[in-house]
Amino acid sequence: MSAAETKREALEARQTMRHSAAHVLAQAVRDFYPGTKLAIGPAIEEGFYYDLDIPVSIKPDDLGAIEERMRAIAAEALPLRREELSRQAALELFHELEEPFKVELLEDMEDETVSIYRHGDFADLCRGPHVEDTSRIGSFKLLSIAGAYWRGDEKRPMLQRIYGTSFATPQELQDFLTMREEAEKRDHRRLGKELDLFSFHEEAGAGVVFYHPRGAILRGIVEDFLKEEHRKRGYQMVITPHLFKGDLWNISGHLDYYVDNMYTLEKEGTQYVVKPMNCPGHMLIYKTKPRSYRDMPLKYFELGTVYRYERSGVLHGLLRMRGFTQDDAHIFCTDEQLEEQIIECLDFALYSLRAFGFEEFKLYLSTRPEGSVGSDAVWERSTQALADALQHYGMEYEVDPGEGVFYGPKIDVKLKDAIGRYWQGPTIQVDFNMPERFQITYAGADNRPHQPVMIHRVVLAGIERFLGVLIEHYGGALPVWLSPVQVMVIPVADRHLEYALGLKEQLEARGIRVEVDDDHQTVNLKIRNSQLQKVPFTLVAGDREVEGGTVSVRLRTGEDVRGVSLEEFEEGISKLVDSRSTGLEWR
């Protein structure tokens, strides 16, 4: 058995255990709260949940008692037995059990035969598989409670969702809980508020972000990096509208495959779509004049803001949004240039991630999904080009079957953060289909028309999502070159304010981002506030500093150096910025 197969088996075993734990959770809740109705209870990436219609509103303090009941059920080692029933027999069973959500699910099914699982007096509609008995649900912990609309529909009943997790051993569970605690400390939504970076406003609608001045500075730094690095690599920057006619999305195929995620409207009898993708706009720019093989590769880059409908239940701060900006590029090239261009995209992506302090990655080759467009030959050709580029690049990768996009296969890069979590990052997609749908060509060396290959790629991917990951990776303590405020100057008393303002002016002349805290508070409190704001350097100016023309340098980590000349400090911080260092070693 290969390592990949062994890993897949282990993941499937864990999912089975967690799915069984969800059934035990549902029974425990029903035991505590008679009249509880069962909705759904799947295993998920970090554990499991069950959506329940409970007669009372449960609170976090109730989870401990539910856990204890789960342990009692586990100790009984009740067998989980699979039964196959006709759909009609299952409908009669769940009508008798007064489980309306299960009845609705059955009414929507086309299967003539369905399966249920029983343990003790508990029965649930489920495909399975499950563990042998309830004692095998592992070391588990209930984590949180949330609201969830039935079937994700805001017009349907609101249910109570209980999240939990389960691991094979107590140590694995403890390791997970420790990491989860650390993740909560790093939550970008909390840090975004505390550091005054951004906010969300229900009255403006869910899934969109408002950048405050400091957040806009951070985003601007990231965007400036991207613009400069794209320029160096021969990309041409373009800008396309936010609103296109629906006809364009018929040509691209998005209306057939993506319509549920698109915002549409109609004016004067014409359908319009708020763009969920940038690629059709780049196609139109390509078609504005004849192209030659001498133009290839032609690289268009856009910081394109797109809008995609996501259900409210899956929105998550900057990490899952309805409106976001992509560092989107489309490369038009010849068949012969394809592998070289994919390798260049990988180089660019990993260089950029490393520049922001990420060093560990996982690569995936995502293959043809169901419901895709294009011939088998085109898909095989595209997939092989990506595989050849990965092999040439020399990095290990895994095949992710069926996870490509509807128009082509792709390489996905996942980046590992400081506490071991992997996040979706760059993606590189090969597309022979869209150039054909838009009928774009170039004149070859034989002076005949040829169809170019199109590469869709993002480097940091969604800017908002990347910022969320970046903030959590550093716990808000961003490297100096990324910090919206790099230096906070604190005058000890009002008589030192003029000197402090002079320091600010001199540092700003060197391109350093500086603020002066002239509030009427104690020096210690102002230093504390600067540290809480994660400002890398705090300069304290009092009588001694004014007389000597120096500064006292305090790092956000607590180290304190006195009697430093401003020239020495300028030199040190400039080196940190220019080198994009992730540390504070300025001397």
Catalytic sites, residue numbers:
279, 308, 326, 328, 330, 410, 456
Distance between CA atoms of 103 and 125, rounded to whole angstroms? 9
Phi, psi of 145 (to 5 degrees): -125, 140
Return the half-sphere exposure (C-beta side, CA atoms, 13 A cut-off) of residue 549: 4
Would you call the peptide bond into 297 cis, given omega within 30 degrees of 0 as the criterion? yes
Closest listed residue to residue 55, CA positions, set 30, 76, 35, 38: 35
Return the half-sphere exposure (C-beta side, CA atoms, 13 A cut-off) of residue 529: 16
553's CB contacts (< 8 A; 6+ apart) are 537, 538, 539, 560, 561, 562, 564, 569, 586
Distance between CA atoms of 169 and 385, rounded to whole angstroms? 42
Distance between CA atoms of 457 and 385, rounded to whole angstroms? 15
Q: Retrieve residue 573's tokens.
A: 């911080």
**Whether 183 contacts 419, CB under 8 Å:** yes
**Whether 244 contacts 273, CB under 8 Å:** yes
Q: Retrieve residue 22's tokens.
A: 């969800």
Pinpoint the alpha helices (H) of 287-405: 338-355, 376-393
Distance between CA atoms of 128 and 16, rounded to whole angstroms? 8
Written in H, E and C, the secondary structure of 365-382 is EECCCCCCCCCHHHHHHH
Closest listed residue to residue 291, CA positions, set 234, 239, 333: 333
Q: The sheet that has 113-119: what strands, in order across it?
A: 81-86, 113-119, 122-125
DSSP result, 220-281 = HHHHHHHHHHHHHTT-EE----SEEEHHHHHHHTHHHHSGGG-EEEEETTEEEEE-S-SHHH
Q: Residue 46: helix, strand or coil by DSSP?
A: coil
Cβ atoms within 10 Å, residue 464: 24
**Whether 129 contacts 14, CB under 8 Å:** no
Return the half-sphere exposure (C-beta side, CA atoms, 13 A cut-off) of residue 553: 21
* CA angle (275 as vertex; 273, 277 as ends), nearest 5: 140
